[in-house]
Amino acid sequence: MRQKNNEPVRFTIIFLILFFIFYYFNIAFFGITSEGRYYSAFLADHVNYIDWLRWLLLKCSAGILSGLGYTVITSKYQLLVIGIGSIRLIYTCLGFGVMSFFAAFVLAYPKPRKPKLIFLFAGLFAIQLLNVIRFVLLSLFWDRQSQRIIDHHTIFNIIIYIIIVISLYFWVRSNNIYKNNAANRSLKI
C-alpha cells in the first residue's frame, strides 16, 4: 500500500531528472557542435544528430512543397520557395524542448515497456510531422516584415503542448482503464 502512495512522487522525480538530462544534453551537444569555444570537429562531422534532424525536416518540407507544385531550394539552414518566401531553421525550430518534455513524461510514467516505446516513437514522429507542416505553412504564408504580438514559435508551442497534454491524458487514462478491467476480471474468477 505504501508503494502506491509513492508512485506520483517517484514519477515526478524521474520525469524531472529525465527532462533536464534530455533538454540540457541537447543544448550542450549543440554548443560543442557549433564553432566556438568548446567546438568538437569530430562530433560536428560524424555524430551531429541536430544537423541530421534539420536536414530531414528541410528535405521533408521541400518534398511536400515540390509535390504541391512549388519550386524549392534548400541549403543547410534554409528553405526557399521561389517567388513566395523562405524560412531559416535554427536550433529552437527543431523541437528538442518539446521532444524532451514528451520523452521524459512517457519514460517516467509507470507503464509496461512495449506500450511506452510504441507511444514514445509515435509521439516523437507526430511532433516532427507537425513541425514539417508548420515549416510548409510558414514558407508559404509567413511575412517577417509584419508586426506581430506573438511569434510563430510561441503559437506552435502552445498548439503542440495542447496536443501533447491531450494525447498524454488519453494514454495515461488507457493505462488506468486496462488496470481496472484486469482487476474486474480477477474478481470474477
pLDDT of residue 77: 94
- Strands, DSSP E only, in 68-174? 72-74, 78-81, 85-88
Residues in contact with 95: Cβ distance below 8 Å, sequence separation at least 6, in sequence order:
127, 128, 131, 160
User: Between the CA of residue 157 and those of 32, 44, 92, 129, what are the distances in Å?
Assistant: 26, 28, 11, 14
Q: How many domains does the chain have?
A: 1
Domain of residue 119: give its range.
Answer: 2-188
pLDDT of residue 27: 96
Joined together, the cell numbers standing for residue 143 give 511575412
Determine the Cα–Cα distance for residues 99 and 50; give it in Å rounded to an integer.
Answer: 13
**Rg (the chain; Cα; Å):** 20
Would you put residue 139 in left (φ > 0), alpha (ψ -120 to 50) or beta?
alpha
Joined together, the cell numbers standing for residue 48 give 551531429
Dihedral angle, C-alpha 132, 20, 153, 55, nearest 10 °: -30
pTM of the model: 0.85
- What is the chain's pLDDT, residue by residue, as a tens digit (189 residues)? 455 678 899 999 999 999 999 999 999 999 999 988 889 999 999 999 999 999 999 999 999 999 999 999 999 999 999 999 899 999 999 999 999 999 999 999 999 999 999 999 999 999 999 999 999 999 998 776 665 656 778 888 899 999 999 999 999 998 665 555 545 555 555
pLDDT of residue 147: 58
Report the half-sphere exposure of 118 (CA within 13 A, side-chain side): 6
